[in-house]
Amino acid sequence: MKLRLRVGWLVALALVATGVIVATSGVAATSKTAKVSNVGFASPEKPNDYGWNQQGLAGAKNAAKATGAKVTEATGIGYENVEPALRRLAQRGADLIIAHASGFNTVAPKVAQQFKVPVVIWDNAKGIKKGLVSNVETAAQQGAYLAGVLAAQETKTGTLGIVVSASDANWFKQSGGFVQGARSINKALKFRFARIGQASYADAAGGKRITQQVIAAGADIVFGMGDGSSFGMLQAVQTAKPPAGASKVYFIDVIGDKTKLDKKGVLLSSELWDFTQIYTQAIKDVNAGTFGKNYVLGANNGLSLLKTNKAPASAWAKVAAAQRKIANGSIKVVSTATEAAVKKYCRC
C-alpha cells in the first residue's frame, strides 16, 4: 500500500512538473509571437550615407522606441552573402526582421519560413505571406513631384538634370514624378536624364562624372538619386561652372538631409524618406496578429520635401499646396517604374 502511495505521489509530482513545463513553454511561445521586443535590421551598406541605409536604421530605431522594443543591427552586409546575416539576426532573438533592401526580397522570406520570424521586405508584393512576410513599396513619384514643382520655379536655364545611380524602380518613379511636377509649373522645360550604371549605388566617382555631363548639357538644377554615389553628384554641383543663363547650379537630393555636408550652399532641397510610420505599423501588426500585408510609403506617411532658405516663400507655398492636393487625391502622379517609361515621358 505504501509502495502504491509512493508511486502515486511520484506520478502526481511528475504530472505537476510537466504541467508547469508545458505552461511555461506556452507562455514563452505566446509572448514571442504576441509582442515584438527585438527588431532585427539589415541593410546593404553602412548607415553613414545620409540616405537609404541611414534613414532606414533611423526609422527602425524610432519605430522600436515607440513600441518598447530594441534594435539589433546587421549593416553593411552587401548583397552577396545576405542569408547568413539574416539567419544570425533570427538566432540572436529577433522577433521581426526588417530586410531593408529590394535585393534582399527573395532570401528574407526563406529565412522567415525557416525560423518562423516575420520579415519586412521591399518591392516584392508576390512574396507576402500571412503572419510571416509583409512588403513595402513606394509612391516615390509623389515626393519627387514636389521636387519638380520647386525646381521649375528656380531654374534659370529652363533645363533640369536627372541623374540616377542604377536601374532602380524607385529612381525611375521619382524621375517621372519630378518631370510631372516641373511641367505642372512650366510645360516648356527641357530635361537631361542620365544613369551611372546598372547598380552603381555607391559609385561616387561615377556620380560626379555623369552629373558634370548633365550640367554641361545646360542643366542648372540636378535631381540626383544614388545613395553613396550622391556624394559625387553633390561634389560635381559644388565645383560646377554654371551653364549660360545661370549664376549657380543647385542640387536636389533624395531620402536624407545632407545640409551638414553642403559647404558651398548648393543644396536646394531633398526629397525626404521617413520610414518610421511604416516600420512602426509593421511592429504593431505583428503584435496584433495581422502581419502579412502590403505597405505603401507616400506623401501622406513619410515622403516630404526638405525646406531650405535657397528658395523664396512663394515657391515653398506652391510646394505645400501641391503636397496637400497629392495627399487628398486631387493630384494623381503617374508612376514610371522603368527607364523606357521615364525617357518616353520626359522626351529625353
| Rounded to 5°, angle at Cα 127 from 121 and 128 | 80
Residue 232 inside a domain? The answer is: yes
What is the domain range of residue 44? Answer: 33-138+276-297
Residue 311 to residue 289: CA distance in whole angstroms: 47
252 and 339 housed in the same domain: yes
Buried/exposed code over 286-307 (b: 16+ C-beta within 10 A; e: otherwise) = bbeeebbeebebbbbbbbbbbe
Residue 302 lies in a domain: no
CA triple 154-159-162, angle to 5 deg:
95
Shared domain for 252 and 317, answered yes or no, is: yes
Domain match, 256 and 220 both: yes
- Sheet of strand 303-305, all strands in order from the earlier edge strand to the far edge: 190-195, 159-164, 221-225, 250-255, 267-273, 303-305
**pLDDT score for 204:** 96
95 and 225 part of one domain: no
Please choose, from the candidates 209, 204, 269, the residue with its C-alpha nearest in 3D space to the C-alpha of residue 49: 204
- Residues 21-38: tens digit of each pLDDT: 333 333 333 334 459 999
Cβ proximity of 225 and 200 under 8 Å: no
100 shares a domain with 58: yes
Q: Among 12-21, 27-36, 43-52, 85-94, where is mean pLDDT lowest?
A: 12-21
Question: Is residue 63 within 8 Å of 279, Cβ to Cβ?
Answer: yes
Does residue 338 sit within a domain? yes
Residue-level pLDDT at 40: 98
In this structure, what are the phi and psi dihedrals at residue 277, rounded to the nearest 5 degrees? -65, -45
288 part of a folded domain: yes
Q: Are residues 147 and 259 in the same domain?
A: yes
**Judgement on whether residues 191 and 337 belong to the same structural domain of the protein:** yes
Collapsing DSSP states into helix, strand and coil, what is residue 208? helix
Using pLDDT thresholds of 50, 70 and 90, give the confidence band for residue 146. Answer: very high
Q: State the CATH number of the domain containing residue 98.
A: 3.40.50.2300
pLDDT at 344: 85
| Residue 210 and residue 330 in one domain | yes
> Are 41 and 57 in contact, with CB atoms under 8 Å apart?
yes
Question: Does residue 16 sit within a domain?
Answer: no
Q: Are residues 247 and 291 in the same domain?
A: no
- 326 and 242 within one domain: yes
Do 325 and 205 lie in one domain? The reply is: yes
State how many domains the chain has: 2
Judge whether 216 and 244 are in contact, CB under 8 Å: no
Cell of 19: 504541467
User: Which stretches within 46-106 are classed as H helix?
Assistant: 52-67, 82-91
pLDDT digits 0-9 by tens, 289-336:
999 999 999 988 999 999 999 999 999 999 999 999 998 999 999 999
Question: What pLDDT score was predicted for residue 348?
Answer: 64
93 with 184, same domain: the answer is no
Q: How much is the pTM? A: 0.84
**Does residue 98 form part of some domain?**
yes
pLDDT per position as a tens digit, 172-208: 999 999 999 999 999 999 999 999 999 999 899 999 9
> Would residue 3 count as lying in a domain?
no
Interval 142-154 mean pLDDT:
97
Is 21 domain-assigned? no
Distance, CA of 253 to CA of 161 (rounded, Å): 12
